[in-house]
Amino acid sequence: MAPAASDRTPPAFAGHVFADPALLAQALTHRSAGSPNNERLEFLGDALVNQFVAEALYRHWPKADEGALTRARAELVRESALAGIARWLDIGPRLVMGPGEMKTGGHRRDSILADAVEAIVAAIYLDGGFDACRAAVLPWFAPLIAALPPPNKVGKDAKTRLQEWLQGRQQPLPVYALLHEGGEDHARIFSVSCSLASPALRTEGEGSSRRAAEQVAAGAMLELLEST
């Protein structure tokens, strides 16, 4: 039986010192470990994350229209982005899960990590109030906001942007090829190449799916093209 979350979580976490450590413990408890768990906190945290990110984008891009702001917010609050924040905060090893989820690597799964981030946001809000929560959470998103492409390019994935770059110069479209597929069933890794005929260039990318690997390879190709 897994130890209770309150026995293994510190009162300070993710930029906030918890007056009530039980809130943090609940935020880090997956439903597979029983009750109380983080499902209700996740619901509240989702709304808070959307509000904080919307405000940050509004200030970051004072001239962007509603469409660009909406697309950017969707990019920043999507599952993979929140899972990246969870990994940066090292949330995975702190999660309390049932034996089945532990065995299948649930602490590494994007969906579970993203839910935990939202639950932690709610726990901070309930523990310290709106201003304390905002102050703790905004720095998590600051690097992601700074790395956003220009407003007119937000929401377009790397493959789409690469295709538009090539079409705008009347160049042949890229060819993607699967190089390798391996790993355990719950943690597959795909390696893909992206090749251009003109100019003759080739990049590679890895991801948890073939599509994700293609996006990484396309992003690498864009960087290569824009740096030459």
- Whether 7 is a known active-site residue: answer no
Catalytic residue, from 75, 101, 118, 214: name it.
Answer: 118
Is 181 an annotated catalytic residue? no
Does 184 carry a binding-site annotation?
A: no
Phi/psi zone of residue 10: left (φ > 0), alpha (ψ -120 to 50 degrees), beta?
A: beta
Residues ≥6 apart with Cβ < 8 Å to 178 = 190, 191, 192, 210
Pairing outcome for strands 201-207 and 12-13: unpaired
Task: Return the number of other C-beta atoms located less than 10 Å from residue 227's C-beta.
Answer: 6
Residue 79 annotated as lining a ligand binding site: no
Q: Could you tell me if residue 162 is left (phi over 0), alpha (psi between -120 and 50 degrees) or otherwise beta?
A: alpha
Q: Is 42 annotated as a binding residue?
A: yes
Q: Pick the catalytic residue: 46, 101, 127, 214? A: 46
* CA distance linking residue 15 with residue 141, whole number of Å: 13
> What's 96's DSSP letter?
B
Angle subtended by helix axes 39-60 and 66-77, to nearest 10: 140
The per-residue DSSP string of 171-223 comes to PPPPEEEEEEEES-GGG-EEEEEEEETTTTEEEEEEESSHHHHHHHHHHHHHH
- Residue numbers annotated as active site: 46, 118
Residues contributing to the annotated binding site for Mg(2+): 42, 115, 118
Residues contributing to the annotated binding site: 42, 115, 118
